[in-house]
Amino acid sequence: MSKKVHLEDLKGKLIVSCQASVGDALYGSETMCKMAIAARDGGASGIRANSPEDVALICSKVDLPVIGLWKRHYPDSEVYITPTYADVESMAQAGAQIVALDATLRPRPNGETLEEIVKKIRQNYSCLLMADVSTLEEGIHAYKLGFDIVSTTLSGYTPYSVQSEDPDIALVGELTKRIPIPVFAEGRIQTLEQVERLLENGAFSVVIGSTITRPHVITKRFVDKMDQMKAEIKRLENELAK
């Protein structure tokens, strides 16, 4: 049974998402656990992690609250973040103090509903529930279903939500005005200035993944920018040569 987490301990704090996909150089529970230890050593107040294996290992080695999710793809649904009751149950059993699940209004596998999942988890487990949403409507709906936290995780990742390369600062502000539970800012956060604006807009906590724990993503961002700059210099040289 996971230890109780006190959300106040996460207020104004950083949660580091330690996740890697199959095929990533850093894929594997041992490596993700080392990432979580490094995040703890850097002062993170919580960890977000994917899969029962990674969560169980991190919970055993890192004395921080763990937000557990399980990315699983089902043929009959677009929902892939902890889609079914069994997936949520696996994360609670792995020891996650908080279980994050897709809280969009999209159809779930096997015809399961978010309402049924929340009700059943509340009957059987003491973990907190975090709603990964992409719109204000989904956040309000998740609050009404009894979630403990709403996170902007999926903004920009559903076809009907705001598409941007930046974090959805506006959604954080809208959610904090409309629901009384903690709103976590999550998704595409890359700079301290963005963190400042997110907190100013009412973010309870900030979740950062790729910019801290995905070296290939960080590397690609620099490489792409430098290639752009090189191409621009070449273009200007050609202009001057005319």
Ligand X SMILES: CC(=O)N[C@H](C=O)[C@@H](O)[C@H](O)[C@H](O)COP(=O)(O)O
Which residue number places its CB atom closest to ligand X?
A: 209
Nearest distance, CB of residue 219 and ligand X, angstroms? 14
Contact set with ligand X (CB under 6 A): 17, 19, 69, 153-154, 157, 186-189, 207-211
Minimum Å gap between C-beta 116 and ligand X is 22
**Closer Cβ to ligand X, 37 or 80, answer by number:** 80
* Smallest separation (angstroms) from ligand X to the CB of 21: 8
The string of DSSP letters for the chain reads -PPP--GGGGTT-EEEEE---TTSTT-SHHHHHHHHHHHHHTT-SEEEEESHHHHHHHHHH--S-EEEE-B---TT-S--BS-SHHHHHHHHHHT-SEEEEE-SSSPPGGG--HHHHHHHHHHH---EEEEE-SSHHHHHHHHHHT-SEEE-TTTTSSTTSPP-SS--HHHHHHHHHH-SS-EEEESS---HHHHHHHHHTT-SEEEE-HHHH-HHHHHHHHHHHHHHHHHHHHHHHHHHH-
Name which of 69 and 179 has its Cβ closer to ligand X. Answer: 69
Instruction: Identify which of residues 110 and 164 has a Cβ nearer to ligand X in the complex.
Output: 164
Cβ distance to ligand X smaller for residue 5 or 189: 189
Given the complex with ligand X, which of 216 and 234 has the nearer CB atom? 216
Other residues' Cβ atoms within 10 Å of the Cβ of residue 216: 12
Q: Is 19 left (phi over 0), alpha (psi -120 to 50) or beta?
A: beta
* CB of 99 or CB of 189, closer to ligand X: 189
Structure tokens at 160: 């009907």
Q: How far is the CB of 123 from ligand X (least distance, A)?
A: 26
We find the least distance from the C-beta atom of residue 190 to ligand X, in angstroms, to be 8
Report the nearest approach of ligand X to the CB of residue 19 (Å): 5
